[in-house]
Structure 1
Amino acid sequence: MEPEKEKTGRLNSQRRRVPDWLMGTPEVRIPPGSDLVDRQPEPKRARLSGIVMAENCEITHEQLCELLKYAVLAQPVIERPRWCQLLYGKHLSRTVVVILQGMSQLHFYRFYLEFGFLRKAFRHKFRLPPPSSTFLADVIGLPNQRAGYLPKTMGGSLPSTSTKPEVDLQNDPVIQKYGSQKVGVLRCLLTEEEMRTFDFPLQGSPDCEDFVTTGCNASVTENSPLFGLDGEMCITSKGRELTRISLVGEGGSCLMDELVKPDEEIVDYATCYSGITEEMLKPVTTKLKDVQRRLKALLPPDAVLVGHSLDVDLRALNMIHPYVIDTSLLYARERGRRFKLKFLAKAILGRDIQRSERDGHDPTEDATATLELAQYFLKYGPRKIAELNLEALWRAQDPRNVREKFQYPYRGALTCFDSAHQKLLFVTRETDDIELPSPEDCETIKCLSNREVFEQARRQVRLYPFSIIRFSFEPFSPLLTEEVNKRMRIKWTEMSTIYAGPLSKDCKLSALKRLFRSFGPVRTMTAVLETHQPHLSIEYEVLEAAQLAIESLNGVLVEGVYIKVQRPVTELTLDCDTLVKELERDSENRATIYLSGVSKDFLGHTQELPKLFGGLEAVIVPPDAKSGRQEKYCFLQFKTFGNAQRALYVLTGKDWKLKGRQALTPRHLHAWLRSSPPESRRPAGLTVRPPPSERETLQNLKAENAKSAARRWSRKIGRLYRSLSPGTLCVILLPGTASPHGSLSGLGLMGIKGEEEESTGPSMGL
């Protein structure tokens, strides 16, 4: 690889002309001697680097609380958040949190064009889990006293069950799932459908082709042996990989406790979670295949594996096992939520695990706890579990007794403010059914409408170092939510699909496959023979690949025929050209580029890229959805738009032989789309719509009202944002919705006033 000076010099001296079919984007010319990289020393002003560490870009409410505490107080006693970087936090002028209650990630992308200000102003976006009934308490640290009783002490045991309210056995989720009578092992096993729903590795699944089976294929009985299993992972260049595994038998004996050295280079030992350090792994020679071989030898043919979120451990092992009991699902909760293992061990077994005085989890201790939890369930039955009223126990205890202190020390922002003798501002609607802080804790303003909330916020927010502004909106009905969710996934599938043709009847199909795959990963490629001359229908994994193919191949001569490349025209793709243009202007995408055709050699030298391209913040290589291997495409995230365009110019030149363009899909959305179930996709093409019924008409009217609200309130939040002083950390939260009919993930957007204009350039049009 050439030094930066030589490569840049040659680029400046040679004005190249590259055919469109090689480039995929209009040529970006750099005047001789110009340099888009700002080499001046950075002033010390607050700045965010939102390199989200989670694979699916989901940030928990507790993690968000940690960022807010650090931003507001920025004291040595406040631990830095691990999932993003806040640089020069002492230079923040204030922190403002805006909550759009009733809205979710689905709302944001359903009304993406209407949320003009939000998508352009906030570069850092992340997914939130569906909200619990204590959303504000989790995120901000507001008091939660609805459970009806309080913990006995700040640092000790769970509250006494004698003070719990009456248990509604009929509606208890454990009773609803298992009935009130005792059950056996067979009833506790996850069905194949449940394993598929909760993403367990299964034989025949497209993403488990390289997985090995445990070889346990005998019939399971009520007397089949149970084995507790738990693993710990580190972060490597490939993603999360196994570094320790424990297997415990029914008698409590540890049958296996092995350290494992990953094949890929470790980039983060995650010691605070895994307990693994570099020194521990230095002498280790055990590899994943050795662990797989030993597990197959240890487990009898009818073995039942027990774990907590066991799908994660099995995927880390790259193994398939047909008989599992998952304690996170066995002890069922409402709306698909799950109890933490630490909480269940304390509430059921009276045992403290994952203690804060040591670094990381002990997988043997965790495996033993999961095994004993399963045995307790089998011994006492669902009715006994329901009578414990675990949900009330969970709500009632002080958050500091629940959260794993080693992971995210939970001390609410409100508590921190009180210790610093400061108040926060809380503006909300009077009719909102939430617990409000006491006057000693904050200045609370209750309003009659969202409009009044907005007006009060504009007047008051500049007077407080920390403000919470809460607007409330009517959520979608469950029926409409299901329909919108399905149609949104179909819309993105159709936008990522292209038709190419006409093709010569003598064309070489293998050459065409190579041509279209050069733009990105292909999900399906089928021949269309209904036309006079054959065409191809290609569905890509990512929107960028489809757009790049259209821009590069439309009107190009392919094997003697000029082909037309276009998207299918359906009701869902009529506005796709507008949507693509706005996605390019999204502040998260403007400084990110998509590259296709990257090789292992290229990915193996990513550490050299910052030397060639200034402002490179991250190299994102999504794993293949089927095999888990690294894809032949990646995203490069830069600090500024100029950095990204310069890198795109160089990397798509003749020296690199890559194809690329500006990114279109925010990372959290890409993760959501990749998780799309097959049944939510449909073949692109003509569809016949039945005449709208009265119910459908009403649903469309509701959607139109939501669209108007999205447009109106995006503008109002823009006005509020512009009134803030430079250096203000602004966090916008669409909490999501929780419903028995299906919960929706939330969405978070954040930025620092004055930072985004510098990063994305003046063309944002804020």
Structure 2
Amino acid sequence: MDAHALRALSTETRAALPSVMEPERDGTGRHPRKGRKRKRAPNTLIGAPEAMRARWDHEERQPVAKKPRLSTVLLAENCEVTHGQLCELLKYAVLGKSCVSKPRWCQLFHQNRLKNVVVFVLRGMSQLHFYRFYLEFRFLRKAFRHKFCLPPPSSNFLADIIGLKKKEPTGELPKTLEGSLPPAISKASINLQNDPIIQKYGLKKVSLIRCLLTKEEMKTFSFPLQGFPDCENFVPTKCDGSVTENSPLFGLDCEMCLTSKGRELTRVSLVAEGGTCIMDELVKPDNKILDYLTRFSGITKKILNPVTTKLKDVQRQLKALLPPDAVLVGHSLDLDLRALKMIHPYVIDTSLLYIREQGRRFKLKFLAKAILGKDIQCPNKLGHDATEDARTTLELAQYFLKYGPKKIAELNLHALVHHQELQAASQEPRNTPGVIQHSNTSVTECLDSLGQKLLFLSQETDASELFSRNCRTIKCFSNKQMRLKWTEMSTVYAGPFSKNCDLRALKRLFKSFGPVRSITVVLETHQPHLCVQYEVLEAAQLAIESLDGILVEGICIKVQRPVTELTLDGDTLVNELELDSENQGTIYLSGVNENFKDCLLQQSSLFLGLEAVILPKDLKSGMPKKYCFLKFKTFGSAQRALTILKGKEWKLKGRHALTPRHLHAWLRGLPPESRSPPGLHVIPPPSEQQSLQTLKIAAWRWGRKIEKLYRSLCPGTLCLVLLPGTQSIHGSLSGLGLMGIRDEEESTIANMCL
């Protein structure tokens, strides 16, 4: 087990221009405008200590210095950063936007102010190891605010993130045609049975009815359905349920803009079989437009100004155009129907029809090229063409029905998309004026162009061996045990209660702190107790802090976690989680309703520094849950908001967050067999306990070494710590990345010490 560091030094001074890249699907915030001072909200905290108020006011008045920094909200939910995207960021950090394209997955402001780029790679470590040895990685979790998931490692992780070219194995991917995707892989090289399309649909051709999403699938993927609380004002089409194999298909696509109420419709296109466009309307949103999202929608203020058509007008047109047995076809069609505020029960979603591994989805642009041989959404066009996209989704559905799943599987879409991702960086700059062609080069070649060298910090005598070795695999603490630890940490026992206590009232009380998985009555004791298992750790901790020691019907109750080998360090772990840099500006709230976000936006002047509102939804029903997370720029802003929201006007319950955002998705994504019932305790065998102890010591030592190296770095250094993940006969473990800039993270650590 070795800790390696890659250090790239860029000394060339460039023009001082901010490098801001808007995430494709993120509409949670506004871009800062130059020359405009930030407004201060009136101090509404009556009776707050003067020192605390002075500190909050001081934070809000701080000018924005032109220093390199990363955006706080880096990734969309469940997003995974690929090794190619890491390489993309490294090259951009070294060369700047005048030489390579800006990374799409994160925002790096003032790149030209970066002094160094340093990467630490902890081989043989995964995301699972990080949370298993959370207390040992003390410096890493406090110093680095930005965390993201990585896929399991490839055969040569270091070569992938540096961008070294590798020879393609014979027969795996044929040579490509000029500017096109490679032709279909030979049947002999493809195991059709492992293709997810074959696993769902089989080898034979399928009927139109089979391609429709079931009601359960529509619930899972948040399609609007009648009877759902968030669809009360939605307009149903006149579909009467008479859909057959001969029912007509209609391609649908919508474009949206960002308004004060979220994303709203600006254009809708409907295409009939044969490719004829029967509806293409621009729509004027009801609320104030904050961002036209021109890059994606193609809509500008000039285009939309003379438009008088409203949402209700297009709803009326669609109801008139669609016959009773119409089948709507689209790509991520749930978003289009929600933008239209319409309900239609018979849909084919091409992002779900052409299934990809691990729940991912192919992009429409990729499917158009790989399946139909069409180029759409070209970069030289202003935004997407809704009619073109609607026609493409219709043709994709027709292709699937005509040729069947076997034909699709033989194309080996997974190999094709991987190949396209490798070529994407080199193709994009060709259409970008003034960009030097560095996208197809490695990080080392980029450094050579600047007269810089690559420096390895390694315990090995031959650094070149790093590019030929696989990550070492260590069997340690299974996913099942990790899930079990989090489950037991999120479980509380409460009591004693009187034998005639009101159970309904008690259940309502405990549910007020957050979502509950189960509540059981413990009768083995002299007096009844309750065992409450919460979905999130914050809810369990809030219940302990609020209820422990209170009087219930004259009896003083105790609320505590179960005492097992997995919760012995529970209090210590909770304290450290609260100090995690990613959680410093995030608060957890329970008791929110469906109108909470709108109310929050209406009183936005009270919540300065708000960067993101995270409202989880139930995966099955699609309904919003009654809790949320609010992410703020500073600890002071978060503390002030928490005080207001717990006050008399809002009457919510909450506390500072304990779990990083990506960890929720990771725990939720574990396979069902990993979710053990409460009460099952797993103790590793002696051989694994010895391995655990060795890793624990190694984790502590690596943390100390990285801290010393980090302290020696100059301000303005971009620093990444990568745990690549592991591959073994026991399965794959995903990796984890931590990222920050020296100046930025120093202020974070200072805030934690106040």
TM-score band, normalised by the shorter chain?
0.7 to 0.9
Which of 442, 445, 459 aligns to 1:451? It is: 459
For residues 279 and 561 of structure 1, what CA distance do their matches in structure 2 show?
69
Which of 34, 48, 52 aligns to 1:11? It is: 48
TM-superposed CA distance for 1:549, in Å, is 2.0
Counterpart of 2:370, as a letter, is A
Distance of aligned partners of 1:41 and 1:305 in 2 relative to their CA distance in 1, 3 Å threshold: closer
For residues 370 and 352 of structure 1, what CA distance do their matches in structure 2 show?
13
Distance of aligned partners of 1:609 and 1:323 in 2 relative to their CA distance in 1, 3 Å threshold: same
2:347 is aligned with 1:352: no
**Hey, what does 1:184 align to over in structure 2?**
206
Which of 534, 537, 543 aligns to 1:543? It is: 537
TM-score by length of 1: 0.74
Counterpart of 2:714, as a letter, is S
Q: Note if contact 1:598-1:634 (Cα within 8 Å) is conserved in structure 2.
A: no
TM-superposed CA distance for 1:354, in Å, is 0.7
**Hey, what does 2:398 align to over in structure 1?**
375
TM-superposed CA distance for 1:545, in Å, is 2.6
Distance of aligned partners of 1:258 and 1:717 in 2 relative to their CA distance in 1, 3 Å threshold: farther
**Alpha-carbon deviations, 1:667-705, whole Å to 9, x = none?**
222344566788865664x3477x98xxx7777676666
Counterpart of 1:121, as a letter, is A
Which of 85, 89, 94 aligns to 1:72? It is: 94
Counterpart of 1:717, as a letter, is I
Q: Note if contact 1:732-1:748 (Cα within 8 Å) is conserved in structure 2.
A: yes
**Hey, what does 2:611 align to over in structure 1?**
618
**Hey, what does 1:110 align to over in structure 2?**
132
Distance of aligned partners of 1:564 and 1:4 in 2 relative to their CA distance in 1, 3 Å threshold: same
2:633 is aligned with 1:638: yes
Structure 2 unaligned regions, length at least 5: 1-38
2:585 is aligned with 1:591: yes
SS of 2:59 mapped into structure 1: coil
For residues 558 and 81 of structure 1, what CA distance do their matches in structure 2 show?
56
For residues 193 and 486 of structure 1, what CA distance do their matches in structure 2 show?
31
Which of 68, 93, 96 aligns to 1:46? It is: 68
For residues 595 and 179 of structure 1, what CA distance do their matches in structure 2 show?
42
Which of 606, 611, 633 aligns to 1:609? It is: 606
Q: Note if contact 1:235-1:269 (Cα within 8 Å) is conserved in structure 2.
A: yes
For residues 223 and 617 of structure 2, what CA distance do their matches in structure 1 show?
15
Distance of aligned partners of 1:203 and 1:610 in 2 relative to their CA distance in 1, 3 Å threshold: closer
Q: Note if contact 2:87-2:443 (Cα within 8 Å) is conserved in structure 1.
A: no
Distance of aligned partners of 1:69 and 1:357 in 2 relative to their CA distance in 1, 3 Å threshold: same
Q: Note if contact 2:607-2:641 (Cα within 8 Å) is conserved in structure 1.
A: no
For residues 740 and 196 of structure 1, what CA distance do their matches in structure 2 show?
36
Which of 572, 576, 581 aligns to 1:582? It is: 576
Matches within 5 A, 1:551-590: 551-590=545-584
TM-superposed CA distance for 1:368, in Å, is 1.8
Counterpart of 1:105, as a letter, is Q
Which of 452, 473, 476 aligns to 2:471? It is: 473
Larger mean Cα displacement after TM superposition, 67-76 or 369-378? 67-76
Larger mean Cα displacement after TM superposition, 563-572 or 214-223? 214-223
Q: Note if contact 1:494-1:567 (Cα within 8 Å) is conserved in structure 2.
A: yes
SS of 1:97 mapped into structure 2: strand
For residues 591 and 242 of structure 1, what CA distance do their matches in structure 2 show?
32
Q: Note if contact 2:157-2:470 (Cα within 8 Å) is conserved in structure 1.
A: no
Distance of aligned partners of 1:383 and 1:10 in 2 relative to their CA distance in 1, 3 Å threshold: closer
Distance of aligned partners of 1:519 and 1:253 in 2 relative to their CA distance in 1, 3 Å threshold: same
**Hey, what does 1:248 align to over in structure 2?**
271
For residues 564 and 669 of structure 2, what CA distance do their matches in structure 1 show?
23
Which of 207, 231, 251 aligns to 1:228? It is: 251
Distance of aligned partners of 1:52 and 1:149 in 2 relative to their CA distance in 1, 3 Å threshold: same
Counterpart of 1:729, as a letter, is L
Matches within 5 A, 1:570-719: 570-596=564-590, 600=596, 603-609=600-606, 616-625=609-618, 628-629=623-624, 631=626, 633-639=628-634, 641=635, 644-645=638-639, 648=642, 659-673=653-667, 681=675, 684=678, 686-687=679-680, 707=696, 709-719=698-708
TM-superposed CA distance for 1:399, in Å, is 2.3
Q: Note if contact 2:260-2:288 (Cα within 8 Å) is conserved in structure 1.
A: yes
For residues 574 and 534 of structure 2, what CA distance do their matches in structure 1 show?
15
Structure 1 unaligned regions, length at least 5: 14-28, 426-441, 458-467
Distance of aligned partners of 1:635 and 1:388 in 2 relative to their CA distance in 1, 3 Å threshold: closer
**Hey, what does 1:748 align to over in structure 2?**
737
**Hey, what does 1:422 align to over in structure 2?**
449
Matches within 5 A, 1:153-168: 153=178, 156-159=179-182, 167-168=188-189
For residues 709 and 524 of structure 1, what CA distance do their matches in structure 2 show?
38
**Hey, what does 2:746 align to over in structure 1?**
757
Q: Note if contact 1:97-1:730 (Cα within 8 Å) is conserved in structure 2.
A: yes
For residues 104 and 207 of structure 1, what CA distance do their matches in structure 2 show?
40
**Hey, what does 2:296 align to over in structure 1?**
273
* Residues paired across the two proteins, number: 699
For residues 220 and 699 of structure 1, what CA distance do their matches in structure 2 show?
58
TM-superposed CA distance for 1:598, in Å, is 6.3
TM-score by length of 2: 0.75
Distance of aligned partners of 1:107 and 1:469 in 2 relative to their CA distance in 1, 3 Å threshold: farther
Q: Note if contact 1:173-1:332 (Cα within 8 Å) is conserved in structure 2.
A: no
For residues 637 and 390 of structure 2, what CA distance do their matches in structure 1 show?
48
Distance of aligned partners of 1:41 and 1:575 in 2 relative to their CA distance in 1, 3 Å threshold: same
Distance of aligned partners of 1:488 and 1:265 in 2 relative to their CA distance in 1, 3 Å threshold: farther
Sequence identity of aligned pairs in percent? 57
**Hey, what does 1:503 align to over in structure 2?**
497
Distance of aligned partners of 1:763 and 1:385 in 2 relative to their CA distance in 1, 3 Å threshold: closer
SS of 2:658 mapped into structure 1: coil
**Hey, what does 2:36 align to over in structure 1?**
none
**Hey, what does 1:18 align to over in structure 2?**
none
Counterpart of 1:662, as a letter, is H
2:397 is aligned with 1:399: no
2:147 is aligned with 1:125: yes
2:358 is aligned with 1:361: no
Counterpart of 1:728, as a letter, is T
For residues 214 and 705 of structure 1, what CA distance do their matches in structure 2 show?
63
For residues 554 and 707 of structure 1, what CA distance do their matches in structure 2 show?
33
